[in-house]
Amino acid sequence: MRAAVTVAIGVYLVGLVLALLGNTSSGASAVVRTIKGRLYAPWLVPAWLDLGHDHHLTYGLPEDADHAIELRATGADAAAAVRFPGRLTGERAARWRRLAAAIAPAAAGDEQAVALAAAVAAGGFADLGTDDVTLRVLRRQLPDRRGLPLPTGSSVVVAARVRRVGGELQLIRADPPGEVAPLVTPATPRAAADEAPP
């Protein structure tokens, strides 16, 4: 009886390990997929062990880079800026990065991201001692896949001025200037007269 129980526990544990190791939609064999789907799904799903190995950092897109939030009083120099996550590490830093990444679509006019940016800036009013702050979302460049050195510096994804006027929040985006048509000097009256038909 003990031998049968030992064999049953061993088979169960081996199958569970196979199900966890093969828990991805790419390259999973039919045997592992069957074991996971029919025998171990009731144990994998409630414990969130069925998420697989898919991770956003493997895509290599600009949105996958680390994001940070910078707040400073409008008109203050860069030394007075407060950055999040700053020196935080672990889960707290990851949450700040996710919040910064959620604000990034505000550059394209996403209303929800704009409202989130205004709320984050309003949360910094008390810390900075002013009701007029400048918020920037910075994105650190991803390293090159060819093994080149890690790029230094960050690019500005969102820049906005947030202020409280009459109890209401105002968000003024600081969009970079876009392309415009080249300026053409107006024709002089004499040249216009020369070109006029007789």
The reported pLDDT for the residue numbered 3 is 93
Structure tokens at 198: 């007789």
The reported pLDDT for the residue numbered 163 is 93
Counting Cα atoms < 13 Å in the Cβ hemisphere of 72 gives: 14
- pLDDT tens for the chain, 198 residues: list them: 899 999 989 988 887 777 666 665 555 667 767 766 776 666 666 555 555 555 556 566 666 678 899 999 988 887 788 889 888 888 888 889 889 989 988 888 888 888 999 999 999 998 888 999 999 999 887 666 656 665 567 788 889 999 999 888 888 888 666 666 666 676 666 655 555 555
Cα–Cα separations (whole angstroms), residue 147 to 55, 94, 143, 152, 153 = 20, 25, 8, 15, 18
**Distance separating alpha carbons of residues 23 and 52, to the nearest angstrom:** 5
Q: pTM for the whole thing?
A: 0.57
Q: What residues form DSSP beta bridges with 156? A: 138
Query: pLDDT of 70-84, one tens digit each?
Result: 999 988 887 788 889
Please check whether residue 124 is in contact with residue 100, taking contact to mean a CB–CB distance below 8 angstroms: no
Amino acid at 17: V
Task: Please provide the average confidence, as pLDDT, over all residues in the chain.
Answer: 77
Q: Which of 83, 51, 72 is nearest to 154 (CA)?
A: 83
The reported pLDDT for the residue numbered 110 is 86
The reported pLDDT for the residue numbered 125 is 92
**Tell me, what DSSP letter sits at residue 92?**
H
The reported pLDDT for the residue numbered 1 is 86
